Amino acid sequence: MAAELEFEAYAESLGFDLATLTDTQRHGLEGEWRDANRRQELADLRASRPVLDFRPPGGGRPAAGEVVLQAAALCLFGRDEVAAKALGADAAQQGRDMRIRTALDLCEATLRAAGVTPPRGKNELVRAAFELQASAGGSPSTYSLPTLLGSSANTMIVAAYTEAPQTWRPIADIRSAANFHTQTGIRLSGMPGLERVAKGGEIRHGTLSEGTYTWQVDTYARLLGIDRRDIVNDSLGAFADNSVAFGRAAARSVNNLVWALWANNSAHFTVGRGNIQSGGGSVLSASSLSTALANMAKQTDGDGNPLDLAGRFLIVPPELRETAIALLESDAIQLASTATGPTGNVFQGALSLVVEPRLSTTSYTGSSTTAWYVTAAPSDGALVVGFLDNKQTPTIEYFGFDSDPSMLTALWRCYMDYGCAFGDYKAAQKSAGA
């Protein structure tokens, strides 16, 4: 009876006379009334729930709910330090205070944060968390589990990527590419110098002779997945470990590309270009290092003018590490057994050492246990490494829980866009060491 009175009041509020309605019209109006009641009940239920507001001990402004949930996820994965570094100490502490101990706890917390009542069954709980939608418009909720796990994975991947050795970074001129097209770079040594302009004179155009090189970025990617059973069984450790492994693998992939290029250098370092020494006199020593530095300093532009290049880095394979350290760090070096005069070390503090194992790895074309290199400053462009839109870390994107109908797996794709090339051949010197 109460429901009938409520319906009549609803109809009258819309200006309908129930006595004149057909059965079809009444049935449709009743459906609208029930839908309106359900929407109001849901709104009332959401309004009655407490808002996430995890304040740090002693007060202070709480972090945003999504950030706290991400911190809680990272803490669940055992990555508290990563959470503190990436999200801030307050957010990390608030995440710990949530006391999320299992993957199902994380699913439930995500649903509650979005104002959705968690289902009772495990399978239903997991699927609801993965398929969470915003209440209006059907767009993905910022509190959805895929977004949360993806953000957490991305944080772990980037942390692992940046912590991994990237021996090419100190010597490379890092560029940004706006697209995947071939990019053209200009060698500093190919740029003609400025000319004095006479009064009322004309400024002449410069011309580039063998002054350009090309480089291009490409996409490198892998899939990262998590099985529905891993969540139900509270086995998210593999997901976290895989995320860290992805970050390290991404760093290795860039290393592999760069140093494979550098090792396979027979066309880049030639006698005609004046950037290589070979034979017995090229074995790494104080004398051969002095020769390499002098050869670089004597490089000239197309007009025969000095380029003012100076050696900044000594690059060696692991087999030459101790010899290189002795040359660069010893207090004194005796150039010959019969030498007289000063015995100080002119190389001490003059060069930075880069040790790269791929230079002598036999699977790399051109690898050598004896070859070593000297390069100038990164801005001189001996090596160019480029990234699309200067995005120098991996990107991770979620694309569906059922994207592969043959697998009950949530999938993310991890990718990077990068490329590399030799730049100015005059900004580096190779010594064959034999």
Average pLDDT, consecutive stretches of 10 residues, N- to C-terminus, the chain (434 residues): 70 73 72 68 48 40 68 90 90 89 87 84 81 48 72 89 94 95 80 69 59 90 79 75 89 96 96 94 94 94 87 97 94 63 80 97 96 96 96 83 59 90 96 94
Between the CA of residue 389 and those of 94, 162, 170, what are the distances in Å? 34, 18, 20
d(CA 177, CA 183): 8
- Domain hosting 270: range is 259-333+344-431
Confidence (pLDDT) at 179? 93
Confidence (pLDDT) at 239? 81
Question: What is the pTM (predicted TM-score) of this model?
Answer: 0.74
- As for how many domains the chain has, the answer is 1
166 is a domain residue: no
362 is a domain residue: yes
159 is a domain residue: no
285 is a domain residue: yes
d(CA 240, CA 46): 32
Rama region for 60: left / alpha / beta (φ>0; ψ in -120 to 50; rest): left
Confidence (pLDDT) at 339? 55
C-alpha torsion angle, residues 118, 120, 123, 128 (rounded to 10): -20
378 is a domain residue: yes
Confidence (pLDDT) at 290? 94
Confidence (pLDDT) at 395? 87
9 is a domain residue: no
Between the CA of residue 161 and those of 158, 195, 254, 398, what are the distances in Å? 5, 47, 10, 19
Confidence (pLDDT) at 11? 72
383 is a domain residue: yes
412 is a domain residue: yes
Does residue 314 sit in helix, strand or coil? Answer: strand
Between the CA of residue 256 and those of 210, 261, 313, 355, what are the distances in Å? 28, 8, 20, 14
18 Cβ contact list (under 8 Å, min separation 6): 8, 11, 26
